[in-house]
Structure 1
Amino acid sequence: MKTRILKINPLKIEEEKIKIAAQNIREGNLVVFPTETVYGLGANALDEKAVKNIYKAKGRPGDNPLIMHFDKIENIKEYVYIDEKLYEKLKLLVPGPITFVLNKRSNVPDIVSANRPTVAVRVPAHPIANKLIEYSGVPIAAPSANLSGRPSPTIVEHVIEDMFGKVEIIIDGEDVDFGLESTVIDLTEDIPVLLRPGPILPENLEKIFGKIKIPEFIYGKVKVDEAKAPGMKYRHYAPDKKTILIEFSDKRIDIIKEKVKDYKNPLLVLFEEDKKYFEGYDIIVSGKINDYYNIAVNLFSMLRKADKTKNDVIIIEGVEDKGLGISIMNRLRKASSEII
């Protein structure tokens, strides 16, 4: 398949280029586009054949649902059941990096929801994503634009690595803002349930929805048998190399010093403050110990960079399970083949 790359400045959108991409969506083709979280692999959510091609391009399991993207919050009413009281709460959070799981209407193809009675919906804040959906005139189904299981793409080079030759259009819209996929919250229960942590933190959700449930699988302590939303069931974000995660603790330096003895050529992913303890080793700095935002933004790029080195193992320092750290650790636990 011939892939065309359209470079678009998100601050000065060339509408003719957006129209080309939107026409491809309407014709049932695949279009990669930037969102404020990661790059998405999009197709017409109402076209079953087009959606099936998303799964094929990614190598994605068929029981892993997709997210329907809309340009305006009011447009979700045509596809999900929602009362006005809850709808008013959603309006406080969109557009932005958050996805809502709601009971779907019959016009949502089963392939989008992986044959579940619920569907995930969101309104992205990125100007290119928003314009693409608007000009397409249909909701766009989109997971992250990477091969299934690989780190999600936050720059266009990542997209080209995984998707060139598999899609008709790649929109180069520069780097993304957050670097982690959207927060996902299930609103079909009496008490909302966090299904995937992301840029919108649990404490901010509680201000709007009141009490929310945070299941154990969010912290990687248990596995789930059924995926109600993307990112729940399968190993994700994983480098090809063996990846060892060292949970955050006061003993982390000593633990890493012992672990590196087991390998000939380890690569260490460390906080800026901790690299001084490991002179002579190959090191990638993840960020400063409390700068969770920059660690999150660079997380997937860092994993891809680490995977391209000649080292035989990746050893990563984890962050504390608090605030945005919950989202970072959720991704790192899924990416790791061993956790200490």
Structure 2
Amino acid sequence: MPGFVFVVVIAVVALVLLALLFSFIPVGLWITAYFSGVKIGLFTLVGMRFRRVIPSRIVNPLIKATKAGLDIGVDKLEAHYLAGGNVNTVVDALIAAQRANIELPFERAAAIDLAGRSVLEAVQVSVNPKVIETPKVAAVAKDGIEVMVKARVTVRANIERLVGGAGEETIIARVGEGIVTTVGSAGSHKKVLENPDDISKNVLDKGLDAGTAFEILSIDIADVDVGRNIGAQLQTDQAEADKRIAQAKAEERRAMAVAKEQEMKAEVQSMRAKVIEAEAQVPLALSKALNEGKLGVMDYYNMKNILADTDMRNAISRVPKSDSNEEKKDK
């Protein structure tokens, strides 16, 4: 009985070790590759385990490439995987490029994938061009009328310029710039409405796809709308600004006039104060002259008579003319 238990334990341990061995050594994956025509050694798969590479991520794409007639080495796929690339996407892109007669070496496809672009999508866009729709671009013609244009840009991926080439945002920005330039050079907004195809021709002639990852095939004007009268609005704003400037200058002149008036009033008050002060000195001067004998009593009375006569004449001059005319009529 103890011998039987010992045999069972040995069998269980052997099964566990065998299961661990087969889980570490992908024998099933090696058999699949062998019958798929992919020649890869079992020790190569074990080496992938030690290099922390998932063997299925390499073998399955390699099987697809072999069935498609592509000659790709295991080392290249493994190196691309270790660099952080998507091996399966790269192989799919290479197969699609081969079917479409597009020249795409593995190194270029790997570089595109590592650059963060979808190489498979690039091949698909090369075969089936993509339509990019721009937002409404507002431009002003020479007559001051705003024109809003929406365009559809048909592009095809340029695989040779995918690495380092500008993306869709640059295409949209350049097309918008071309629309603004074309509409701005038009003499009237009516001309733009009559011939919207002029926009497409002028924009295409500018070679807007230079330095981008795309090749522009066509630019079609989808919609043209008439917006605001920008010229009239600018003139109105200018007139309002001129009005405010004139008001500000008038207010400045009024403030200067008020200040000048206040200054003159202050001078008049000062002069009046000096006159009153001088008049207050007259009695003292007369008294001093009388005491010193420089002024006689008769001279003083003559001066008083002259002053009284002067006051009388002033009073007569202040009588209203209407009253004097009525007196004459009564007489």
Q: Same fold (TM over 0.5)?
A: no
- Counting helix residues as a fraction of each chain, which structure ranks higher? 2
- Counting strand residues as a fraction of each chain, which structure ranks higher? 1
TM-score normalised by L of structure 2: 0.21
Q: Which has the higher contact order (CA 8 A, sep 6+)?
A: 1
TM-score normalised by L of structure 1: 0.21
